[in-house]
């Protein structure tokens, strides 16, 4: 038991400084400035290639369409949101699910801008009506999920208002989730390094976000099992398992073809809202974390 307590302390000791460094204003400003620089460099590099000034292996790594610079910018924004998601995991499962819906909305917007690469420069829709409908579908789906996310956030705040806790049990609960977050952060970094190596070698990279969401499915199940140790009641287990199912639906939305991705993504957001509303209506109790079992 003493070893377990030390592992809780170690996870907290490692996680908290990293979380503080990432969330502080100076770090966020520096990262935002870096995004602007990368976007400008991407536009410049693409133009230099189009003018024939960048050739060889380096030229093969640079796309021909200026619109891909927009895709790169949104991709980097998504990476930042994923990092924020990892740091959200110790807060609550419901809050982490909300963060994943934010990422899904951004992924749909990124997909819409990515489709622009199929358009000519200067832009025209003639002969590209199919791509236009995909852009409208992804953009409209992102907007619907954004609206549902607002509903979900209001419901989640009501849900968490009745789930307050304190003391050693809560400390252990949060520390255990910090362990999971640190493992997920390590996997995230490893996947970034692997994809970067593939790109530098000229090999096609794997689909990062869908692969990472697969990892999140397993991490959500782990969080459900951890929560069951501290919240063994059936209603809490059902709620947390339902949130894990919502994550699975998000994963399916990322791999689905156009139009279906919007339907599945919207369905997952509706499911999360209905799950939260049902729990608040029939199961929520304004009392601290309690357990019928002793630890």
Query: Which pLDDT tens digit goes with each residue over 138-152?
Result: 999 999 999 999 999
Measured at the CA of 207, the angle between CA 198 and CA 106, to 5 degrees, comes to 125
Q: Give residue 292's pLDDT band: very low, low, confident or very high (50, 70, 90).
A: very low
Using the predicted structure, report yes or no on whether residue 161 has a pLDDT greater than 70: no
pLDDT (0 to 100) of residue 287: 43
What pLDDT is attached to residue 290?
Answer: 42
Total-model pTM: 0.81
Which of 18-27, 43-52, 116-125, 210-219 bottoms out in mean pLDDT, i.e. has the lowest?
116-125
> For residue 4, what are the CA distances in angstroms to 39, 43, 140?
46, 51, 48
Domain limits of the chain? 2-282
Token pair, residue 14, equals 């490692």
Query: If you write DSSP's letter for every residue of 133-147 in order, what string do you get?
Result: HHHHHHHHHHHHHHH
For a pLDDT cut of 90, what percent of the chain falls above it? 36
Terminal C-alpha separation, the chain:
10
Please choose, from the candidates 159, 156, 24, the residue with its C-alpha nearest in 3D space to the C-alpha of residue 101.
156
Q: How confident is the model at residue 284 (pLDDT cuts 50, 70, 90)?
A: low
The pLDDT of residue 159 is: 77
Whole-number average pLDDT of the chain: 85
What is the DSSP code (8-state) at residue 52? T
| Number of neighbouring beta carbons within 10 Å of residue 156 | 20
User: 118: buried, middle or exposed (CB in 10 Å: 19+, 13-18, 0-12)?
Assistant: middle
Indicate the pLDDT class of residue 167, thresholds 50, 70 and 90: low
Give the residue among 81, 80, 97, 77 at the shortest CA–CA distance from 89: 97
What are the two backbone dihedrals, phi and then psi, of residue 176, each rounded to the nearest 5 degrees? -65, -40
Q: 112 CB contacts (<8 Å, ≥6 apart)?
A: 134, 135, 138, 139, 142
- Output 218 or 288, whichever has higher pLDDT: 218
pLDDT for 18 equals 94
Q: What is the pLDDT of residue 121?
A: 73
């Amino acid at each position: 038991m003493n070893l377990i307590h030390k592992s809780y302390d170690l996870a907290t000791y490692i996680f908290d400084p990293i979380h503080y460094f990432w969330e502080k204003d100076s770090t966020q400003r520096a990262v935002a400035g870096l995004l602007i620089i990368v976007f400008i460099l991407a536009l410049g590099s693409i133009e230099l290639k189009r003018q024939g000034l960048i050739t060889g292996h380096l030229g093969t790594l640079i796309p021909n369409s200026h619109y891909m610079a927009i895709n790169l910018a949104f991709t980097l924004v998504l990476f930042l949101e994923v990092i924020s998601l990892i740091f959200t995991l110790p807060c609550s499962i419901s809050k982490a699910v909300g963060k994943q819906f934010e990422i899904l909305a951004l992924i749909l917007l990124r997909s819409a801008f990515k489709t622009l690469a199929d358009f000519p420069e200067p832009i025209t829709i003639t002969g590209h009506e199919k791509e236009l409908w995909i852009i409208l579908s992804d953009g409209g789906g992102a907007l619907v999920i954004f609206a549902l996310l607002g509903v979900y956030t209001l419901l989640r705040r009501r849900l968490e208002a009745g789930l307050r806790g304190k003391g050693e049990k809560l400390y252990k609960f949060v520390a255990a989730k910090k362990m999971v977050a640190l493992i997920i952060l390590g996997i995230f970094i490893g996947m970034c390094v692997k994809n970067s190596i593939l790109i530098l070698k000229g090999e096609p990279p794997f689909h990062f976000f869908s692969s990472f969401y697969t990892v999140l499915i397993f991490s959500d199940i782990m969080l459900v099992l951890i929560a069951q140790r501290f919240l063994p009641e059936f209603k809490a287990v059902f709620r947390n398992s339902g949130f894990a199912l919502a994550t699975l639906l998000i994963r399916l939305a990322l791999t689905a073809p156009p139009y279906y991705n919007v339907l599945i993504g919207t369905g997952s957001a509706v499911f999360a809202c209905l799950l939260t509303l049902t729990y608040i209506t029939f199961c929520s109790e304004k009392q601290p974390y309690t357990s019928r079992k002793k630890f």
